[in-house]
Amino acid sequence: MSDFAGMEELLQDFLLESADLLADVDNKLVELERRSDDRALLNDIFRGFHTIKGGAGFLGAQALVSLCHATENLFDKLRTGGIKIDAGLMDTILAATAAVRPMFDSLSHAIQPDPADASLLAALHQAANGTQVVAPAAAAATTAARAPVREASQRTSVMGGVDWEAFYHAIVSGSAEPSATKATPVVAAVATASLPAPATSPVHAEQDAPAPVRREPEKAAPTGGKESTIRVDTVRLDNVLTLSGEIGLIKNRLTSLRTGILQGANDGNTMRALDEAVSQLDLLVGNLQNAVMKTRMQPIGRLFLKYPRLARDLARQLGKDVELVLAGEATEIDKTMLEDLNDPLVHLIRNAVDHGVELSSERAVAGKPSKSLIQLSARQEGDHIVIEIADDGRGMVPEVIRRKAVDKGLLSQEEANALDDRQALNLIFLPGFSTKTEISDVSGRGVGMDVVKTNIRRLNGTIEIRSKPGAGSTISISLPLTLAIMPVLVVRLGTQPFAVPLSLVREILPLGADRLQHVTGKSTIVVRGDVLPVIPLAGLLGWPMERAPLGGVLMQVAEVSFVLGIDGFIGRDDVVIKSLDVFKPKGVAGVTMSSDGEIVLILDIGELLNDPQWGPQGVTRAISANIPAYEAGAAEPA
């Protein structure tokens, strides 16, 4: 039986609200560390945590109440000026908010959470009484700053045997509770007079209580995976309802016209009325489609909220002074994409803190302010959202990246020399690439940036790097606003239609024997002075080449620009994507259906280009190496 039988709906409402509150508290705590005299900010933090405690008390989650109460006491002392904020004290507070998350995870499975580690509760009580303590986070951070590579036993904090450093990494990535040698649990529950009586009797703070018995729920299934709920503005829902009603009226009108036509009313007035009704239905369906899509849109600030804490903790661990600045939090994106963006953004922010910005001493030598700035921003551009992570750090030197790639055997010296600076910067996305000479628990294994690029490409997005040595780097991610409906260009290969994302299309070109030229056996075309490879769609799909392409689509996928050779065009369309969960052929992102009922494959061009003969290490490099031959007029036409 569930620990919360009969309270499942209340429990889900609590978790949904409290997760947002906790993220907001974490973000404001990082801000409070910079503005310790901001009383309004401190009051906001206190109220947020008090609300979490109140909801936990109403549900009878006494372990969570105890932890919240101890932390709330500390907040109250800060509000009244009894104690002052410093980095060590903030580490203790953040360790407490971090310990709340595993409790939320237990509650999401309808299981009473285990009590917080007794040593953490003790640290909170001592801090509230003005006693200087070694906070769990501080102990881990100090050790980490001195020794980048160490054994797990060396990283274990003295606070209750918890590996707090590993815990901080775990909570950001959403994994489970930290491993710990648990001390004897002490539950201190406090009843709040302003709240309804909790489901179980509270235990006074002076008394010890047995740990709650953990039971596997019989009916409640683990939530796991992605969050299945969404908050929608009622104005948007009202708009959907209104449009649905108008479509119903048009349906009735069409039914009446159909009846009249079947009874012989085929005069001009009837046909005009039918055309008007169909046009109005088309308009309303389009509006309804847009309205439904807006119900899926969520502000990206919900995702951004967790990152200031991540940057702060990692900077403390590395001994750096870093501030993460957020911008464009109100920019909206499809809810289904928010969680898929988390891992790439976590890695990029960690990368900026670890690789991008310098230590304060290094910045002083370079004449920079001691504090490094990293900006995480979002903005909408047309039907895309652009997310940027920019730092004012050391920047990237293309020649160093080329040399590292050659040293690691990722490409030859000749191949490296053929790359321009933009292409050289993109080498950091190669699997196994890293500029670190030492492997630490933060970086050095070369398994991060390639995963970032893969995940972004899976979202039909692109990623681009701009960097200036000594001035910093900017990584830009461009994503469609939604994955549910995609604008596409439908092309034809023989009689078979295929769809390619319109976001990758730059231009439509005629192809002919007089325009094509050959370089090292590959077809190419010159477009406004640029030599571009012509890649037949048949070749990408592994189909037999029956004839030369009749038309071309100028496309750009990441750093690769090329012309896709096809047999003809069908047109532009906005399609609803259906995923292929059971069987997914390589290079197919999904399927849709044409207006005449024909199945159309939506191509994943980036995945098709992974073939070495088509990708950036294949035909593009060969063309780059032969550009001087074109300029000298030595290339032979096809």
414 and 361 within one domain: yes
Highest mean pLDDT, choosing among 419-423, 518-522, 607-611: 419-423
Instruction: For residue 207, tell me if it sits in a domain.
Output: no
123 and 18 within one domain: yes
331 and 264 within one domain: no
389 and 323 within one domain: yes
pLDDT score of 590: 83
pLDDT, average across residues 429-436: 76
pLDDT band at residue 429 under the 50/70/90 scheme: confident
316 and 344 within one domain: yes
Q: The tokens 């070109």 sit on which residue?
A: 509
Instruction: For residue 117, tell me if it sits in a domain.
Output: yes
Q: Which of 151, 173, 195 is the last residue of a domain?
A: 173
433 and 284 within one domain: no
Instruction: For residue 216, tell me if it sits in a domain.
Output: no
pLDDT score of 197: 32
Which neighbouring-strand residues pair with 491? 498, 569
* Residue 429: DSSP 8-state: G
Lowest mean pLDDT among 37-46, 402-411, 430-439, 553-562: 430-439
Instruction: For residue 215, tell me if it sits in a domain.
Output: no
323 and 286 within one domain: no
255 and 351 within one domain: no
Q: Where are the beta strands (DSSP E) in 43-155?
A: none
The first and second tokens of residue 243, run together, are 């449009």
317 and 458 within one domain: yes
Q: Which of 427, 451, 480 is the last residue of a domain?
A: 480
47 and 35 within one domain: yes
Q: What value does the mean pLDDT of the chain take? A: 76
Cα(351)–Cα(12) distance, integer angstroms:
35
The first and second tokens of residue 518, run together, are 């050959």
Cα(175)–Cα(272) distance, integer angstroms:
62
How confident is the model over 89-116, as pLDDT tens digits?
888 889 999 999 999 999 988 899 999 9
Instruction: For residue 456, tell me if it sits in a domain.
Output: yes
Total residue length of the chain: 638
Number of domains in the chain: 4
Which neighbouring-strand residues pair with 479? 385
- pTM across the whole model: 0.64
How confident is the model over 82-95, as pLDDT tens digits?
788 888 888 888 99
Instruction: For residue 260, tell me if it sits in a domain.
Output: yes
Cα(35)–Cα(632) distance, integer angstroms:
64
399 and 328 within one domain: yes
391 and 247 within one domain: no
pLDDT band at residue 582 under the 50/70/90 scheme: low
What letters, b where the CB count within 10 A reaches 16 and e where it falls short, cover 342-352? bbbbbbbbbbb
What residue numbers bound the domain in which 266 lies?
Answer: 234-295
Q: Which of 148, 173, 198 is the last residue of a domain?
A: 173
pLDDT score of 525: 84
Cα(323)–Cα(308) distance, integer angstroms:
8
Which CATH number belongs to the domain containing residue 59 in this structure?
A: 1.20.120.160
Which CATH number belongs to the domain containing residue 587 in this structure?
A: 2.40.50.180
Instruction: For residue 443, tell me if it sits in a domain.
Output: yes
pLDDT higher than threshold 90 for residue 49 = no
pLDDT, average across residues 333-337: 86
Which CATH number belongs to the domain containing residue 453 in this structure?
A: 3.30.565.10
Q: Residue 633 to residues 394, 521, 523, 534, 626: CA-CA distances in angstroms?
A: 42, 17, 16, 19, 11
Instruction: For residue 252, tell me if it sits in a domain.
Output: yes
